[in-house]
Structure 1
Amino acid sequence: MSKSATNWSEVGDGFTQAFYIQQQAQLWFSEEIPIASDAADWRALSPAERTCYTRVSAGLNAMDTLQGEVGMPLLAAGEDDHQRKATLAMFAFMENVHARSYSMANKTFLSASEEREAFEWIEMQPHLQRKITVFRRLYEEGDALTRMLASCLLETALFYSGFFYPLYLAGQGKMSHMGEVFTLICADEALHGSYVGLLFQERFAALPQGEQAAVRARFEQLAREFYENECAYTDEVYAEVGLASEVKTFVRYNFNICCDNLGLERLFPEEEVNPLVLNGIRATGGTTHDFFSIKGAGGYAKITAEPLTDAVVREAWNA
């Protein structure tokens, strides 16, 4: 066990400090965004639309919880460098901020019984449970490269089936404050995927060619399995709103971004993605190339937080 301390005066690897500083600049909390102001939009959604929104958020909550509690901490444990450990620890913190934001949305828009149903749905949804089980095993039993592959697949590809619907609605002026939450989350995930991808590329480049081929094959196997599972998940979650095909296109787009982050060959041909959704992930620089931008480009500005009290929620609903 290291008995040294972190020296931030050292440049280190030349990129970790930049990612730490950028995550610090992107720091946000759901209490700073008036999501209760979306109550009228929520009431205007059809039952099928509300169910879809609730379930994509519930699925994201489950996976962010796993990433914050297991994935990122194990990635940090696998690094010897203090700056890298600190950066991954900050990423883990933000994963828990993301999970809490979904829970705060539940508190705002759902009744107590509806909230219980959402958490019960997480435990009963087979494709979601498969993701949780397989990712936990990859994190807990895999080597450092396997953990990095898993992390990039989760944060740069699989999360985006859930991001599609809130960004799609926000692009039409519906649930816009929650849309801002999702846009901020996308900016964080872009940062995380890019950083872990760089860590992967560094280790991958040091491998002999034969081992590199084995890692590529392992990635392609995992990617195909997760893509098939995500398509089945998408078919169930989006069936009643008729968007499954567009969501799958968006997922394939983000699988290719994952490949870019890892420095590996893309898996799918280029396709046209719904521009409303693309605008949402780009609003705060949430792409693989341009996330080093000023926080708030999508409309968010840090404010003095007002606690989300029951009275605030009731007032929004009765407006």
Structure 2
Amino acid sequence: MIEHAVNWNRKIDHFTETFWEQNNRQNWIDTEFVPSDDIKVWKKMDKALQEAYAFALAGLTFLDTIQANVGMSQLAIHIKELKRKSVAGFMAMMEHMHAKSYSTIFTTLITDGSYIDWLLEDWVKNHPLLQKKARIIQKIYLRIKTDEDLWLAMVASVFLESYLFYSGFFLPLFLAGGGIDGQAMLTNSAEIINLILRDEAVHGSFIGLLAQELFESFDEDVQSRLKKTMYALLEELHEIEMAYTEEIYGELGLAYEVKAYVRYNANRAMQNLGFDDYFPEEHINVIVMNATSKIAEFITHDFFSQKGVYKKANVQPITKADFDRVNERLKLRRM
């Protein structure tokens, strides 16, 4: 129960207000972008590539719908400090924007409205792997009663936004970077994807910081038990994600590269949570890695003086200058 007004004049930490400001600074709406220049390219793409692209975006729409309506909303309810609630609430709003933005791409590229309806309502609803991911994540979100439950929900949120989204992000980034015969494809749609990537990087960093802070409050026995739960969750989700990736990308011959990219982002999720990489380092597709590094690397750069479990004394203040460097490197312009 909320018993007093939010007080933005009282400083509670070194990062919450910075994340509030950055979320506002990079605020955008999907109608600012009209990817109509992609239509000619879309019509020339072969059916298998079109289908994989549509499936990837439908899956992303579903996960963003969950994160907007359940994930961030539940975190905002259970996070105790009011300014932090505000940041989570803002991020929930942007998850709605992300979900809508995929429809902007769909309705621009696909003229058959019944096919779009089938994708978002029937294909998603009846896809066993998507539904399995959704059940696992939502179950964690909806059972928050204790601080331990809240921590696991934060872990699930970071896994979703810093890890599970990225199998869907791969193809738009790959095509826009010239992954097919060196020819850049669907670049206007990819600009929207880049904005979503930028948001997700900030979301994962913020919730990861809150998770690290909460984890530090537990005694060693509780920490040990929670880590086992976290790793079990990661393994369960990863098994599903590998099968999902094979299904979406197998026919295109890209599954191997997408799986490596997914594991790379699983490691980034672990870093956001304050833990060491879980998967061994491996080669990542240069085109996709270049697009990702322009965003994710600089969002988290220099936030911590060391990897590993969160230590308050060693956390470097996140400043406006950190995010200014991100925005300068991205150079994402509004259309």
The TM-score, its normalising length taken from structure 2, stands at 0.87
Distance between the aligned counterparts of 1:279 and 1:258, measured in 2? 18
Stretches of structure 1 lacking an aligned partner (at least 5 in a row): 304-319
Contact 1:256 1:266 (8 Å CA) reproduced: yes
The equivalent of 1:113 in structure 2 is 114
Alpha-carbon separation, structure 1, partners of 2:36 and 2:327 = 22
Aligned residues: 303
Higher relative contact order (CA 8 A, sep 6+): 1
Within the alignment, does 1:207 sit opposite 2:218 as a pair? yes
Aligned-residue Cα RMSD (Å) equals: 1.5
How far apart are residue 283 of structure 1 and its match? 3.6
**CA deviation after TM superposition for structure 1 residue 286, in Å:** 6.2
Using structure 1 for the length normalisation, give the TM-score: 0.91
2:24 maps to what in 1? 24
Matched residues in 1 for 2:74 and 2:280: separation? Answer: 33
Could you report, residue by residue, the CA deviation over 1:45-103 in whole angstroms, capped at 9, with x for unpaired residues? 11000000000000000000000000001111111211100000000001010000011
Q: Is the 8 A contact 1:48 1:241 kept in 2?
A: yes
Structure 2: where are the runs of 5+ without partners? 179-183, 302-321
> Which residue does 2:323 correspond to in 1?
292
The one of 164, 170, 177 aligned to 1:158: 164
Distance in 1, matches of 2:202 and 2:274, equals 16
- Does residue 298 of structure 2 align to residue 266 of structure 1? no
Residue 312 (structure 2) aligns with: none
Aligned-partner Cα distance in 1 for 2:172–2:27: 21
Which range is displaced more, 58-67 or 5-14?
5-14
The Cα shift of 1:299 comes to 4.8
How big is each residue's C-alpha offset from its partner over 1:154-204, in whole Å with a ceiling of 9 and x where there is no partner? 111110000000000011121001111111111111101111110000010
Structure-1 separation of matches of 2:235 and 2:245: 15
Check whether the contact 1:190–1:287 (CA below 8 A) recurs between aligned residues: no
State the distance in 2 between where 1:285 and 1:231 align.
Answer: 22
Quick check: 2:163–2:269 contact (8 Å CA) kept in 1? yes
8 Å contact 2:169–2:193 — kept in the other structure? yes
Task: Specify which of 241, 248, 253 is matched with residue 259 of structure 2.
Answer: 248
Of 280, 302, 309, 2:334 maps to: 302
3-state SS of the aligned residue for 1:182?
A: helix
Measure, in 1, the Cα distance between the counterparts of 2:209 and 2:168.
Answer: 25
Instruction: Decide which of 151, 156, 163 is 1:145's aligned counterpart.
Output: 151
Matches within 5 A, 1:51-200: 51-110=51-110, 111-119=112-120, 120-142=122-144, 143-172=149-178, 173-200=184-211
Q: Is the 8 A contact 1:284 1:298 kept in 2?
A: yes
Query: Identical aligned pairs, as a percentage?
Result: 37
Aligned residues of 2:16 and 2:87 also touching (Cα < 8 A): yes
